[in-house]
Amino acid sequence: MADSQDSKLAVGPNPSPNRHSRKKWLIILAAAFLVIAIGLGVGLGVGLTRNGGSDDGDNDSGPTPTSSPLPTPTSRLAWRPKVNDTWQIMLLHPPSLNADAASVTPDVDIFDIDLFDTTKETIHTLHKLGKKVICYFSGGSYEPYRPDSAEFEKNDIGADLQGWPGEKWIKLGSENVRRIMKGRVELAHHKGCDGVDPDNVDGFQNENGLSLTADDSISFMSYLSNITSPLNLTLGLKNAGDIIKNVLPIVHFSVNEQCVEHSECSTFAAFIQDDKPVFHIEYPDGAGKEGLRANTVNKYCSREGDARGSDQFSTVLKTMDLNGWVETCDGTVMTTTMNETSPNH
Ligand SMILES: *[C@@H]1O[C@H](CO)[C@@H](O)[C@H](O)[C@H]1NC(C)=O
Ligand SMILES: *[C@@H]1O[C@H](CO)[C@@H](O)[C@H](O)[C@H]1NC(C)=O
Ligand SMILES: *[C@@H]1O[C@H](CO)[C@@H](O)[C@H](O)[C@H]1NC(C)=O
Ligand SMILES: *[C@@H]1O[C@H](CO)[C@@H](O)[C@H](O)[C@H]1NC(C)=O
Ligand SMILES: *[C@@H]1O[C@H](CO)[C@@H](O)[C@H](O)[C@H]1NC(C)=O
């Protein structure tokens, strides 16, 4: 039953309140406005301090981007990954999972799998097994074999990605590119993904043929944040160490390749300091068969040695083609069975 005061206000017998109570309402409204204004001010202040203030161990050799996206309200997201969550990434094929599967190997918190190649049913089955699913797609490159590849325009497309035949950098500010990416994000929502892992957002750190800048990447991440958060999709930053300071407030996790190999794990530790996980991949020689030698695991995992700065990272040792094989820092080797009937990318 409605509170009697509420019903009086709504349809009370005396619809024209006297001057006194009108004034009272004005005061209440003004107070509410003040509370909201103070709240906004504090929120903005926190955002700005977080953005520019702290020393996160980065040096100043990178480009100096001029713009910073505003933090988006991510507290309403249904789920966010946590520091030290365990994960598997396999992009060569999706996991092979029958609808009634009772388990999946490895028994980790999160699977990072291909948005296009994985069926909605597989994602549903992973959910039934208590797993969260992050869907991978390329955000910053053209791949000739995707279902939406024909939608890219000639002007969107730049230089080849080194080492990936047929794959090309794309113009991150292009309206057409952003429209295509919106379609990919909506597909992720439709398939039930819990987050997205948009790859190749660091064109400015590579020969890209399009004069891409750090600001282009920052703006693109801001765009992705604006379209993912209303759909409850958590958003990751793939590599792109130079823009971590700028986009940290709008992303929820890092996916990093080879920070040990490149001696830059402390750059990505900024995520851990912000209470966000770093999903960290290394590609050791000899990966993919039986277990790696202890000194190899140690090289990529010892937080005192080469892997300095990677404390609390969620590290996996993988083969370059990201098949189902994975070794973790405790020396455990596990293999997820791949569904080889689905396309091989
Ligand atoms: C800063 O970091 C970059 C890459 O992470 C490295 O190449 C460079 O030598 C570093 N500069 C200084 C002054 O430490
Ligand atoms: C997002 O998740 C929240 C909390 O689970 C839910 O209330 C909301 O309806 C979801 N929004 C969308 C667009 O799915
Ligand atoms: C991190 O996760 C691993 C694997 O689940 C666990 O063994 C370890 O205790 C965790 N560490 C912390 C600091 O939570
Ligand atoms: C394997 O992939 C195909 C094509 O996407 C799908 O129809 C099939 O259900 C999948 N099977 C399993 C066991 O995952
Ligand atoms: C994302 O949304 C914020 C807040 O509404 C806005 O300031 C920003 O310009 C948007 N970013 C892009 C790239 O559209």
Buried b (16+ CB within 10 A) or exposed e, 30-68: eeeeeeeeeeeeeeeeebeeebeeeebebeeebeebeeb
Residue 90: strand pairing partners: 113
pLDDT in tens, 128-164: 999 999 999 999 999 999 999 999 999 999 999 999 9
Per DSSP, helices labelled H in the chain are 4-11, 19-52, 120-128, 175-191, 214-228, 244-247, 265-273, 294-301
- Domain locations in the chain as residue ranges: 2-8+17-50, 87-335
Tokens of 273: 């300091």
The pLDDT value given to residue 68: 64
Q: Compute, in angstroms, the gap from residue 291 CA to the centroid of ligand 5.
A: 47
pTM greater than the 0.85 cutoff: no
User: 82, 84, 87, 272: which to mutate for ligand 3, most atoms within 8 A of CB?
Assistant: 84
Residue 196: strand pairing partners: 135, 235
Q: Compute, in angstroms, the gap from residue 152 CA to the centroid of ligand 1.
A: 36
- Nearest ligand, CA of residue 244? 1
Do 203 and 214 form a contact (C-beta atoms < 8 A)? no
State the CATH architecture for 87-335.
Answer: Alpha-Beta Barrel (3.20)
Do 117 and 123 form a contact (C-beta atoms < 8 A)? no
pLDDT in tens, 279-338: 999 999 999 988 888 999 999 999 888 999 999 999 999 999 999 999 999 999 999 999
